[in-house]
Amino acid sequence: MKWSATGTRFTSHSGILQLMDDLGRALSGPDKKCMLGGGNPALIPEVAAIWRAQMRSLLEDQSRFDGVLGRYDTPQGRPTFLRAVAGMLNREYDWNLTEENIAVTNGSQSAFFILFNLLAGPDDRGMSRRVLFPLMPEYIGYRDQAIRPDDFVACEPGIEQIDEHTHKYHIDFDSLEAGPDIAAICVSRPTNPTGNVLTDEEIARLDEMAQARRIPLIIDNAYGAPFPDIIFADARPTWNENVVLSMSLSKIGLPSLRTGILVARPDIVRAVGAMNAIVSLANGAVGQALTERLFETGEILTMSRDIIRPFYRHRRDHALGCVRSSFGDRFPWSVHRPEGSLFLWIWFPRLPGTTTQLYERLKERDVIVVPGRYFSFGRSGTWDHTEECIRVNYAMNEHDVEHGIAVIAEEVARMWSTGCR
């Protein structure tokens, strides 16, 4: 089959395709694999019980159930859900939102495809415009979403070495520039893959830069506050009419329902709705219907703060303990300070070979991680640092995390002892 240039781009090998393929095979295949590579959230029993209760309520209300499954919603989303989300955010942060500020997409992955391609690329004057990522490494799922591969530009971070085994990335504002070709600035907070949480000051400086250029600041809040609130640092959500804030029901425990939520000014919301109509006609309704009353009552906030955040804090601390006990002083290593999300970002300075080779060695032992190279894009040339890093998901059961980290330690030690033969 002869594909178009766009078709060739989207059907070629990509990091997100490899990640999701590994995830699907690990979870559905006949052989047991230690899946530390995907972004699948944990199945938290107390949260699962809430979803079952909400589903029973939906099933028992025949009129509501029939309406959810049997009718299209607007391309912007279910009006009652849009009002519920706006109301919750107004009560929590006094943002003065209406339903005209909220758009739903079929997952936040789709939301970013829509946003990036609404903003980047040639404009009506023929000028090429790009999205600026001010802090690499960034989310693997952004990497291949622009229709044109040159529509992204990114910056390396400043690296603060906090102690022998802990580091943190910071935006290098001295080198950061949003020129006339920049259509938007985009960050994730907490950052996938590193668990970094940009400070309120860093967000304020990015917002000031974006407002000066009259371009949107896009903040991916898939793991942040107020839900699912997998965030362990002091950070307050930010929104104004220049900010596009992305949220999702995935990490709160509903990844298969593919429900992304955007908070933006009305013209951006209308544009996203128009793109929804063309690309997918309407959004899936089940996730919206299942959570609508939780937004209305505020239960989605208490569930996040009292159940989800403590659960992942415990899982993070357990994973860090496993790293310390398994790695010890056998080889050089450093973990990015894990301030949020589901991941440890582990750096092996001066590693013989690359973490792509480490990934293959681990895969042979049925341990799946993600090599760091896929989290760097929008730059010319290579960046050796990411070839020394891996992302590890600590949301899986504690036995798998403990076993997987022990195997990682064994393979890294072998690479050092053999020179990666």
- What pLDDT, on a 0 to 100 scale, did the predictor assign at position 27? 52
72: left (phi over 0), alpha (psi -120 to 50) or beta: beta
pLDDT, tens digit, for every residue of 313-338?
A: 999 999 999 999 999 999 999 999 99
pLDDT at 19 over 70: no
pLDDT at 137 over 90: yes
Residues 17, 151 within the same domain: no
pLDDT at 40 over 70: yes
- How many domains is the chain partitioned into structurally? 2
Query: Using an 8 Å Cβ cutoff, are 312 and 230 in contact?
Result: yes
Residues 375, 410 within the same domain: yes
pLDDT, tens digit, for every residue of 51-82?
A: 999 999 999 999 999 989 899 999 999 999 99
Residues 178, 256 within the same domain: yes
Confidence band (pLDDT; 50, 70, 90) for 14? Answer: low
CATH code of residue 32 = 3.90.1150.10
- What pLDDT, on a 0 to 100 scale, did the predictor assign at position 146? 84
Residues 77, 201 within the same domain: yes
Residues 88, 218 within the same domain: yes
Structural domain harbouring 221: 73-297
- Please identify, among 265, 297, 329, the residue that sits at the C-terminal boundary of a domain: 297
Report yes or no on 58 lying in a domain. no
Task: List Cβ neighbours of 388 (8 Å cut-off, separation of 6 or more).
Answer: 347, 348, 349, 350, 351, 354, 355, 372
Residues 89, 20 within the same domain: no
CATH code of residue 128 = 3.40.640.10
Confidence band (pLDDT; 50, 70, 90) for 160? Answer: very high
pLDDT at 147 over 80: yes
- Please identify, among 259, 280, 297, the residue that sits at the C-terminal boundary of a domain: 297
Residues 23, 100 within the same domain: no
Residues 209, 322 within the same domain: no
96: left (phi over 0), alpha (psi -120 to 50) or beta: left
pLDDT at 388 over 60: yes
Residues 223, 312 within the same domain: no
Residues 192, 334 within the same domain: no
pTM: 0.93
Residues 187, 322 within the same domain: no
pLDDT, tens digit, for every residue of 345-355?
A: 999 999 999 99
Q: Which of 18-27, 69-78, 139-148, 174-183 has the lowest mean pLDDT?
A: 18-27
Angle at Cα 145 formed by Cα 133 and Cα 102, nearest 5°? Answer: 80
- What pLDDT, on a 0 to 100 scale, did the predictor assign at position 148? 82
Q: Which of 93-102, 267-276, 373-382, 403-412 has the lowest mean pLDDT?
A: 373-382
Report yes or no on 55 lying in a domain. no
Report yes or no on 125 lying in a domain. yes
- Please identify, among 237, 270, 297, the residue that sits at the C-terminal boundary of a domain: 297
pLDDT, tens digit, for every residue of 292-313?
A: 999 999 999 999 999 999 999 9
- What pLDDT, on a 0 to 100 scale, did the predictor assign at position 338? 97
Q: What is the mean pLDDT of the chain?
A: 92
Distance CA 120, CA 89 (A): 29
Confidence band (pLDDT; 50, 70, 90) for 2? Answer: confident
